[in-house]
Structure 1
Amino acid sequence: MKPVRKLSIVLLLMTLMLAACGESGGQKASPSEGGKGSGEKVKLSIWHNFSGDDLRAKTVRGIIDQFAKDNPNVELDAQAIPPDGYRQRLSTVAAGNELPDIFFVYAGSQSAELFRAGLLQPITEIADQHKDWKEKFLPGAFEPYQFEPNQIYSAPIGMSATSILYYNTTLFQKYNVKVPETWDELMTAVKVFNENKITPIALGNKAPWVAQSTILGTLADHVTGTEWFKNAAAQKGAKFTDPEFVKALGYFKQLVDSKAFQDGANSIDNTQAEQYFVQGNAAMMISGAWTLTNLAASASEEQLKAIDVTVMPAIPGGKGEAKTISGGAGGGMALSKRTEGAAKEAALKLIYAISGPEAQKAIAESNSMVMYDTDIDQSKVSSLYYKAFNLVKKTAITPVYDAYLSADAAEVINNGLQEIMTGASPENIAKKLQEAQARSVTP
């Protein structure tokens, strides 16, 4: 998971300005408000970043267009903003308290800071009205959007799954290697493939977030357990210099020392590693759900059929749950605090249309992961995506490190894994990480 940029400092200052307005009663009414009995159309605005030509973007835009057709009383102003500029543009209008009625937000610091600035209102009443829908979300789906008890502020329409173990069934059969379920079995597989001049695990760590997001999150969670990690991230009763985390880094170093990765793994990017793997040069690759989309576009059906997916192997004596995948909720639609009356009713209806059962199914069938238990038409997705979708659907999700660490600490562990791959000690990297996270948490 790539590091998330923080909102403009101007937005943080808006918290005080908004509070002052609230106390004086001077906050303006939403320009999109409309009365039920006015006989006029309700004006509603929505911003999102589904502007591309990929199937998911087209699917979401199609849902919004259909809502406009089905609700002629709603005068809908929908803006699809390219992802590269979306965060900054949203931050700019948020700083001026000019957010649209509905807008796409990312799980993590962006949505949390918007809440702290007093710019969001909950969408809990949708969940109350559609209890069956709420119950079909996977565990942890609402966690990033629950900023206060018994309230939710968005419903994810995507999922981040970052540590799927992809493996080449042809190579495993050819060399009579068991698909690893334990650490010892993984190390045996590494040894056999190396002996036969096959790279055991493809890795493209030129952008250093890759090893952290795809390997360390799940590997470390297997060793330490999720509760320990969250405590260490909060610097409450646990530190990254604790023996269990040093041990987790030691397992990563064991992969390096056993030559599990190809030479120059820190010099090639993730896309190059995917091609190296799909061409049969590596037996395995640990990567995220983004690889499903990339391979669907670049690999032949014959190559895809040779690939299967599973979870990373268990760690002996580990404190964490064994069969897990690191990841979490993706982005979802949020509701502006300023939207009221008939506009609010229409906004909640549109949010449900974009994140409801039919939408979740349609998004899943666009070869995109969702945090929702839905059935999909196998004929509408790639063979590899269908395997991964069913794997993730039944697998517990654990945290990705950079979703909980400060930006500085995330950079330390990202670069630290590169350093371990060139000879640094786990103890030294653990010390650097602890110092960086402590600086960010300590007042």
Structure 2
Amino acid sequence: MKKTLTVSAATLLAASLVLAGCGKNGNEAGSPDASNASAGGKDKVKLSLWHNYTGDDQRAKTMRAIIEEYQKAHPNVELDIQAIPPDGYRTRLKTVAAANEMPDLFVMWPGVMTKEFQAGNLIQPINELLDGKPEWKDGFLPGSFDGFTIGSDVYSVPVALSPTSILYYNKKILEDNGLTPPKTWDELMNAVNVLKEKKITPIALGNKAAWLAQSSILSSLADRVTGTEWFLKAAAQDGAKFTDPEFVQALTYLQDLQKAGAFQEGFNAIDNTQMEQYFAQGKAAMMIDGGWALTNLAASAPADSLSQMGATILPSVPNGKGDPNTLSGVVGTGFGLGKNATGAKKEAALDLLYTLAGPDAQKRVLESNQLVSYKVELDKSKVTPIFAEVYELVNKVGRTPVYDGVLSSAVADEVNNGLQDLLMGAKPEAVAKKIQEAQEKSMQSGS
């Protein structure tokens, strides 16, 4: 059975986790200009490529396989590959960006990261590649380029589609305890209480890297409370502030979960991959995570565990101003083209970019249990049942912004750190005040 994925332009909102610019000098990004020595009729080209596909998940394996295939098919291109684990990738990229030594081709986020790198004259557009392959360009879903576009220039294309706030649940655990997937906040809190009494972890959480509570929980939860319009106004400091009662209420809801014992002990000491393993092992009834979990689960979770997984959206909240039939989401990462890639090096980089993001790659990524922002028919026999369920889910709901896709990197860091403090007992009002102060400072500095 096959079905074509469709997503509306209004719901594909760009996001990024970008890094601002201080760091040490260094040459770790880079290759010198292309060394052109004739060999076998083709110029030799040395190309630096940075990626974060280091894991054992199916998508990472697929992308690494595509890179290896490209190397074998292009002996004239010498790839200097830096494969950096996801949690350290942005830090390394920040360092070379500050030193103005970008790789030739590298994994890049849409939204803020693209804007900041373009403003720093660190990247160059790929319009010529898109215009030269119109069928490929037209194959992307509406809005796919928005987060990578500045003016008339497009700086990348997505190789993924990432809903960030899916509520995964273990069907058996809920059924065995007389529970159903929660549709309202009261139902969620009741489930937490019932499961705690049975000494079952209600919700797995891995917030060591600090971004997960923001991206996967708050971005949707806060939208339920405040509505999208309020958030965009607060981000623009145009008639709304993060100290407003509705945002404080959103923070309070999140803290209420922690106070009720919703999360396992040490949730700030494990990362999202460990969280996913914890959930897959049946140690928690629920998990709030993004679409990226699907490819990790497909690679590591036993078949019987996968068969027990269901997926839904976060519950509605009392008197919420936002649309409850939504989840926060973004188009995924693409590949940025460093400004120093010129001549034969640029030609090779664009060719590799197309190999990594062209129609064949998009299909292979989809079949690795990773959603994509490209028109590809899904063969459900090649993916896990939970992937097929999420695939259907994302086509039935709207999308709202992810906080770190709209806010500057400095303010997003303040949100991330503030949520860690909140979950350790800090007052919601105090956290909201720090976020508001960071946003005011960001607006004043123009960042």
Distance 1:97 1:138 in 2: 33
Residue in structure 1 matching 2:63, options 60, 63, 67: 60
TM-score for the superposition, normalised by structure 2: 0.78
Partner residue in 2 for 1:106: 109
Give the C-alpha shift of residue 152 in structure 1.
Answer: 0.9
Aligned pairs for 1:246-265 (under 5 A) are 246-262=248-264, 265=267
Distance 2:153 2:216 in 1: 31
Partner AA of 1:5 in structure 2: L
Give the C-alpha shift of residue 399 in structure 1.
Answer: 2.7
Distance 1:276 1:59 in 2: 24
Q: Residue deviations 1:173-193, cap 9 Å, x none?
A: 223323223333333433443
Counterpart contact for 2:34–2:46, Cα < 8 Å: no
Aligned-residue Cα RMSD (Å) equals 3.7
Q: Does 1:76 align with 2:45?
A: no
Q: Residue deviations 1:30-87, cap 9 Å, x none?
A: 75799xxxx7547463513256363434433443454566668xx3222220215766
Counterpart contact for 2:52–2:89, Cα < 8 Å: no
Q: Residue deviations 1:129-152, cap 9 Å, x none?
A: 4455445434553232112x2321
Segment drifting more, 417-426 vs 173-182: 417-426
Residue in structure 1 matching 2:118, options 109, 115, 120: 115
Give the C-alpha shift of residue 110 in structure 1.
Answer: 4.3
Partner residue in 2 for 1:15: none
Q: Does 1:142 align with 2:145?
A: yes
Counterpart contact for 1:328–1:399, Cα < 8 Å: yes
Residue in structure 2 matching 1:410, options 409, 412, 415: 412
Distance 2:396 2:50 in 1: 30
Partner AA of 2:78 in structure 1: D
Distance 2:91 2:186 in 1: 47
Counterpart contact for 1:220–1:245, Cα < 8 Å: yes
Give the C-alpha shift of residue 167 in structure 1.
Answer: 0.5
Distance 2:311 2:420 in 1: 26
- Alignment CA distance shift 1:345-1:302 (3 Å): same
Aligned pairs for 1:262-277 (under 5 A) are 262=264, 265-266=267-268, 269-277=271-279
Partner residue in 2 for 1:26: none
Residue in structure 1 matching 2:390, options 368, 376, 388: 388
Counterpart contact for 1:171–1:283, Cα < 8 Å: yes
Q: Residue deviations 1:259-310, cap 9 Å, x none?
A: 4334554455545544443343432111233433443444321112111111
Q: Percent identity?
A: 49
Partner AA of 1:299 in structure 2: A
Q: Does 1:179 align with 2:181?
A: yes
Partner residue in 2 for 1:21: none
TM-score for the superposition, normalised by structure 1: 0.79
Aligned pairs for 1:86-235 (under 5 A) are 101-138=104-141, 140-147=143-150, 149-235=151-237
Distance 1:334 1:281 in 2: 39
Segment drifting more, 353-362 vs 117-126: 117-126
- Alignment CA distance shift 1:397-1:131 (3 Å): farther
Partner residue in 1 for 2:19: 5
- Alignment CA distance shift 1:319-1:133 (3 Å): farther
User: Which secondary structure state, in structure 2, belongs to the residue aligned with residue 232 of structure 1?
Assistant: helix
Distance 2:301 2:50 in 1: 30
Counterpart contact for 1:360–1:374, Cα < 8 Å: yes
- Alignment CA distance shift 1:304-1:438 (3 Å): same
Partner AA of 2:350 in structure 1: L
Counterpart contact for 1:180–1:186, Cα < 8 Å: yes
Give the C-alpha shift of residue 338 in structure 1.
Answer: 4.9
- Alignment CA distance shift 1:66-1:81 (3 Å): same
Partner residue in 2 for 1:333: 335
Segment drifting more, 421-430 vs 152-161: 421-430
Between Structure 1 and Structure 2, whose CA radius of gyration is higher? 1
- Alignment CA distance shift 1:412-1:9 (3 Å): closer
Counterpart contact for 1:50–1:80, Cα < 8 Å: no
Segment drifting more, 168-177 vs 384-393: 384-393
Counterpart contact for 2:16–2:112, Cα < 8 Å: no
Give the C-alpha shift of residue 344 in structure 1.
Answer: 4.7
Partner residue in 1 for 2:49: 47
Give the C-alpha shift of residue 382 in structure 1.
Answer: 3.5
- Alignment CA distance shift 1:406-1:77 (3 Å): same
